């Protein structure tokens, strides 16, 4: 079975289309910072000739600590993402956590993302599907890739076939994730584009006690490996200054490092397509 092509706004991926980048800051820290990040990403992707879907979360609902920064919330966050979409002419993506959120987010977002911890929540999946927007489902750290078939069927049951499946590592003991690249091939066999989430794959969940740690030094290598193995898109959380980010700084990539990485993966993709 071939891989279906899926459109996110004006960006198409899967089915032989070029590699797509889904990128942006982990969380919306402010309107100014978000617009600045979007502008930088647009320029970088234009130079790299890689299609861009902008990602940032209006609410990080699964933070380790109650005191962790979560974002501006649904209404204000969607307002900011709507401006990104309008000002830069790029599709936007964000996480949804409930049936009510899915209805509202579906009016603004080009792609609704289902967080890994919620990938089996039937009501949420079906509410997201009913928006008729593209749905990016993060495979849970606790889930085998072949078990994503039932997740896919829940979305399909609502008549939506605009599905993306994301690999973000699997739990390997306490506070640790590893990547099994076979997962990309196994999920791709379900007939939908597969995304590799390089920055969350190097996360150390709860590794700092009240927050997660990360090993960002492996982001580039894992990204190159995933493109060589065969993925339809890369998911990268990026920031002007990860060390000062309000969320997930230890595993985010600096925007200044992105052009070099995109040049590398573009070269790998060209070789893979001709081999």
* pLDDT over 70, % of the chain: 96
Residue 1 binned pLDDT confidence (cut-offs 50, 70, 90) = low
DSSP of 93-148: EEE--SHHHHHHHTTT-SEEEE-GGGTT-HHHHHHHHHTTSEEEEEPPTTS-GGGH
What pLDDT, on the 0 to 100 scale, is given for residue 205? 79
Would the pLDDT of 11 be above 90? Answer: yes
What pLDDT, on the 0 to 100 scale, is given for residue 90? 98
DSSP label at 10?
T
130-140 average pLDDT score: 98
Distance CA 232, CA 15 (A): 8
Inter-residue contact 78 to 108 (CB < 8 Å): yes
What pLDDT, on the 0 to 100 scale, is given for residue 273? 79
Nearest to 111 by CA among 251, 13, 190: 13
Nearest to 167 by CA among 123, 222, 128: 222
Domains, in order of start, for the chain: 20-267 (3.20.20.70)
157-185 average pLDDT score: 95
Range in 32-46, 52-66, 233-247 with the lowest mean pLDDT: 52-66
69-90 average pLDDT score: 96
Selected residue with higher pLDDT from 143 and 274 = 143
Inter-residue contact 249 to 242 (CB < 8 Å): yes
């Amino acid at each position: 079975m071939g891989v279906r092509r899926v459109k996110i706004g004006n960006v198409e991926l899967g089915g032989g289309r070029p590699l797509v980048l889904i990128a942006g800051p982990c969380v919306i820290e402010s309107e100014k910072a978000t617009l600045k990040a979007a502008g930088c990403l647009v320029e970088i992707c234009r130079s790299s000739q890689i299609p861009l879907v902008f990602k940032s979360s209006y609410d990080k609902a699964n933070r380790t600590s109650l005191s962790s920064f979560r974002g501006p919330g649904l209404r204000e966050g969607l307002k900011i993402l709507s401006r990104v979409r309008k000002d830069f002419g790029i599709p936007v993506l964000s996480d949804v956590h409930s049936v009510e959120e899915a209805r509202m987010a579906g009016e603004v977002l080009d792609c609704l993302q289902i967080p890994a911890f919620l990938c089996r929540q039937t009501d949420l999946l079906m509410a997201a599907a009913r928006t008729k927007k593209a749905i990016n489902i993060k495979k849970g750290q606790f889930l085998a890739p072949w078990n994503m078939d039932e997740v896919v069927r829940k979305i399909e049951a609502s008549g939506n076939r605009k599905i993306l499946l994301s690999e973000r590592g699997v739990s390997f003991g306490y506070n640790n994730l590893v990547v099994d690249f076979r997962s990309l091939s196994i999920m791709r066999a379900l007939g939908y584009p597969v995304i590799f989430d390089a920055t969350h794959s190097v996360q150390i969940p709860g590794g700092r006690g009240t927050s997660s740690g990360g090993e960002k030094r492996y982001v580039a290598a894992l990204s190159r490996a995933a493109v060589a193995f065969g993925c339809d898109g890369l998911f990268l959380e990026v920031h002007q200054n990860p060390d000062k980010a309000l969320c997930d700084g230890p595993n985010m990539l600096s925007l200044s490092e992105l052009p070099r990485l995109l040049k590398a993966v573009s070269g790998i993709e060209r070789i893979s397509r001709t081999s």
